[in-house]
Amino acid sequence: MFSRAAALAVNADQKKELEALVRNGNSSQKVALRCRLLLLAHQGVANQSIAQQLNVSRPTILALRAAFAKDGMAAVTGIRRRKRQAKVLTPDVEQKILDTTLKTRPGDGSTHWSVRMLAKHLRVSRTIVHRVWQRHDVQPHRVERFKVSNDPHFEEKVRIPMKWGTDSGGNGAASEQAALVTAMISEAPHFRQEFCE
């Protein structure tokens, strides 16, 4: 288990201000929660116990303790932002997204890229990929040409021995069904699995 943290050093003025912020009805919930957390830490309550009482994570408690020790009351009322760099959409990144989308296929055997697959492949956000696709009107899921199936037995499944002429009842339904299935397979590739398996 974790070792017990020492009581947080809070002077009298800071304690009064923290208590006032907790009682103030105009304080935001986030500020009031931070104040309660710091007051409990000042009383010497263990971090794990604070986490259970206030329904926060232990790393949140440790981060707020460190921020309060460093910045004082500014850690409670100020806006703390994470330090992470956002990926910026440069012309090079945009061109790489377009080239990858239009000139390559995913390595998993898919017929086209999805936003998530491409974002993961290029290590950019899904939003960036989506913006580029919208800006250039790229819709890889709407391809107007015939897509080759990934099924190794696709050709065998399509070339089903067909009786031309009549079925056992003598009414010509077999040839019509075969023609219909063949036409649907060649016109709409997404019906392939439904009719050929």
What does the pLDDT look like over 138-160, one tens digit per residue?
A: 888 776 654 556 777 765 665 45
Among candidates 63, 68, 60, which has minimal Cα distance to 39?
Answer: 68
Task: Report pLDDT digits (tens) over 86-102.
Answer: 667 888 998 899 888 88
- Find out whether 101 and 139 touch, Cβ atoms under 8 Å: no
Residue 161: pLDDT band with limits 50, 70, 90? very low
Q: What is the residue-averaged pLDDT of the chain? A: 77
CATH of 12-77, one of 1.10.20, 1.10.10, 1.20.1630, 3.40.50: 1.10.10
Residue 163 in this model has a pLDDT that exceeds 60: no
Residues 6+ apart with CB under 8 A from 34: 64, 75, 76
Q: Span 12-31, mean pLDDT?
A: 88
- Find out whether 97 and 128 touch, Cβ atoms under 8 Å: yes
Task: Report pLDDT digits (tens) over 41-70.
Answer: 888 888 889 899 999 999 988 998 988 888
Report residue 170 as tokens: 């003598």
Report the pLDDT value the prediction gives residue 101, as an integer from 0 to 100: 86
